[in-house]
């Protein structure tokens, strides 16, 4: 499972020019489709090629890197069926590394001086590992799911009523039996909640999904300790006796997706409710200007899209026109994606990145302090050009 530490390690790599290939490729689910994978990788390589002003020579995927990528895919794609894989290759740095991702992402190929990590950040944030508790009145199964990996723990069955206890009971006695059954179920829910709580304390908070019968879910949910309740992402209704781990992952995965979309929506709404005190900006030019002043505390970026632009070799200023700083176009270097550049810059400043499907204004930022009016005006003037 990809982690922030791995992203940070990748970000330390830097080639002398735009020769480092970052490829995000979808491996077919059907093994028969693997035959077409090398040709498909070739099509993606073509997308990474660039010829434009500010690029000293035509940028192409090098032959050695193309071989390295095809070699990695040929030897390991069988282990990655149905998954998106990130491949980083740069012969100059001796780099050839593949990372299978926990969810499917848009394919892309980028040649730059360092690894293109936006999709990795999106995968970490949008496809987190999560826990699932499937529960009925007597049994509980706990699942830890990370991408395609599932580990299962079956809890010992709860104490039950002895079956002969039911025979011939009626009226008040039947009522007492019923009370006892409810009480036993309650103990069982409490024991399961305690185990879940212990797991969350031991290995950290993760979104929690609950599966089971319609009436069981609220009863169990009501007994979760407050810390664990905060991690509750949603539930699915199913008969636990009919579930397999794969089915659990399928049902819970949809709950996690909905939960993630809701988080997106909340974050965007919260952002739009911010007072107009100059501490929020929307649009690429305003975000670039704010990043140049190291002012961004939180950056909301879109999951897809590449926006080519320029970075100043001397001061690092980012712009879509190459004249965003006093050093002028002569010092400008073409970069394949300004959103990636601003993302890495904000990470370097200790800021936070959130990937949203549709952030306000296409890209938006909350600032540490209000920018002087001049800087904002310049940024907006830049936006108009
Ligand atoms: Zn400059």
- Where residue 122 falls (left for φ over 0; alpha for ψ -120 to 50; beta otherwise) is alpha
Task: State pLDDT tens for residues 299-308.
Answer: 999 998 999 9
pLDDT at residue 299, as a whole number: 97
**Could you tell me if 273 and 302 are in contact, meaning their C-beta atoms sit under 8 angstroms apart?**
no
Confidence (pLDDT) at 49: 86
For residue 306, the CA-to-ligand 1 centroid distance in Å is 22
Which residues are CB-neighbours of 259 under 8 A, at least 6 positions away? 207, 233, 234
pLDDT on residue 285: 92
Distance 310 CA to ligand 1 centre (A): 10
User: What single-letter DSSP state applies at residue 213?
Assistant: -
In 80-181, beta strands by DSSP E: 84-90, 95-100, 108-112, 130-135, 140-146, 149-154
Q: How far is the CA of 89 from the centre of ligand 1 (A)?
A: 29
Ligand 1 geometric centre to CA of 342 (Å): 15
Q: What is the pLDDT of residue 172?
A: 59
pLDDT at 373: 55
Ligand 1: centre distance to CA 282 (Å): 23
Which ranges of the chain have pLDDT less than 50?
163-169, 375-385
The residue written with tokens 């970490």 in the block is 124
> Do the beta carbons of residue 23 and residue 86 sit within 8 Å?
yes
């Amino acid at each position: 499972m990809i982690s922030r530490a791995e992203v940070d390690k990748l970000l330390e790599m830097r080639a002398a020019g735009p020769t480092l290939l970052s490829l995000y490729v979808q491996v077919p689910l059907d093994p028969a489709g693997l035959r077409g994978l090398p040709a498909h990788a070739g099509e993606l390589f073509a997308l990474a090629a660039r010829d434009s002003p500010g690029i000293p020579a035509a940028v192409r995927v090098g032959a050695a890197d193309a071989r390295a990528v095809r070699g990695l895919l040929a030897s390991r794609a069988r282990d990655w069926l149905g998954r998106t894989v990130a491949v980083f290759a740069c012969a100059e740095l001796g780099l050839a590394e593949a990372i299978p991702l926990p969810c499917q992402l848009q394919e892309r190929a980028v040649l730059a001086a360092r690894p293109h990590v936006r999709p990795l950040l999106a995968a970490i944030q949008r496809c987190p590992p999560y826990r699932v508790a499937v529960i009925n009145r007597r049994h509980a199964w706990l699942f830890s799911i990370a991408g395609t990996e599932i580990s299962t723990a079956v809890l010992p069955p709860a104490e039950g009523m002895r079956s002969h206890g039911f025979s011939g009971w009626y009226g008040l006695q039947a009522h007492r039996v019923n009370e006892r059954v409810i009480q036993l179920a309650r103990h069982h829910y409490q024991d399961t909640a305690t185990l879940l709580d212990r797991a969350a304390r031991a290995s950290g908070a993760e979104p929690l999904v609950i599966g089971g019968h319609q009436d069981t879910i609220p009863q169990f949910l009501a007994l979760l300790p407050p810390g664990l309740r905060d991690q509750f992402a949603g539930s699915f209704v199913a008969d636990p006796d009919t579930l397999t781990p794969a089915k659990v992952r399928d049902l819970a995965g949809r709950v996690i997706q909905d939960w993630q979309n809701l988080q997106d929506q909340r974050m965007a709404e919260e952002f739009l409710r911010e007072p107009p005190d100059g501490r929020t900006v929307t649009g690429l030019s305003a975000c670039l200007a704010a990043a140049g002043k190291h002012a961004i505390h939180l950056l909301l970026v879109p999951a897809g899209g590449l926006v080519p632009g320029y970075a100043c070799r001397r001061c690092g200023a980012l712009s879509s026109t190459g004249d965003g700083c006093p050093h002028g176009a002569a010092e400008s270097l073409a970069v394949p994606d300004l959103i990636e550049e601003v993302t890495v810059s904000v990470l370097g400043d200790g800021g936070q990145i959130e990937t949203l499907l549709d952030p306000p204004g296409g890209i938006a930022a909350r600032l540490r302090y209000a920018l002087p009016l001049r800087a904002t005006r310049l940024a907006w003037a830049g936006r108009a050009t």
